[in-house]
Amino acid sequence: MDEKTFTQQSAMVPPEETVTQQTPGAPGGQAIPETTEIAAHEQRKAYGTAKTENLRDSELWRYLLPTAVILGCLALLAIPLIILIPLFAISLDPAAATHSLAWLWITMILLEIGAAAIIIYGLTKIFLTQAGNYRR
């Protein structure tokens, strides 16, 4: 933005302006002077005017955002399962030292799936529905 555009209005206002008004409640209709002082160095800035905003939408975000959310949800579900399922499979071997820990890996897998399901439900409700955009 050009600095001249922002300060153009404040440059046109004189540093001190005296306004005289007739006050109906004053005796004899006397004029009471009111002073309004505006500093000459004050800068007025306009934010977000329609003339400066680019209102065209490339609509690329409509494809990138759902793709990123879906990939994140898949990663949220897959990464812990990639770690826990081999540990569970090893614990099923009777000769393994972790044979008695099969219950632990089953519990961990169920907790992970439950937590991931809640998070995935929330992310899809927030980012993959159009109704959320029009509530406010």
pLDDT in tens, 13-58: 555 554 555 555 555 656 555 556 655 666 766 666 556 556 666 7
> What pLDDT is stored for residue 79 in this prediction?
96
> Which residue type does 131 have?
A
> What pLDDT is stored for residue 29 in this prediction?
57
* pTM of structure: 0.54
Cβ contacts of 69 within 8 Å, gap of 6 or more: 123, 124, 127, 128
Q: Which helix (H) or strand (E) element contains residue 89?
A: helix 61-91
- Helices 61-91 and 102-127: crossing angle in degrees, nearest 10, is 170
Q: Using CA atoms, how far apart are residues 129 and 58, in angstroms rounded to an integer?
A: 19
pLDDT in tens, 59-115: 788 888 899 999 999 999 999 999 999 999 999 988 888 788 899 999 999 999 999
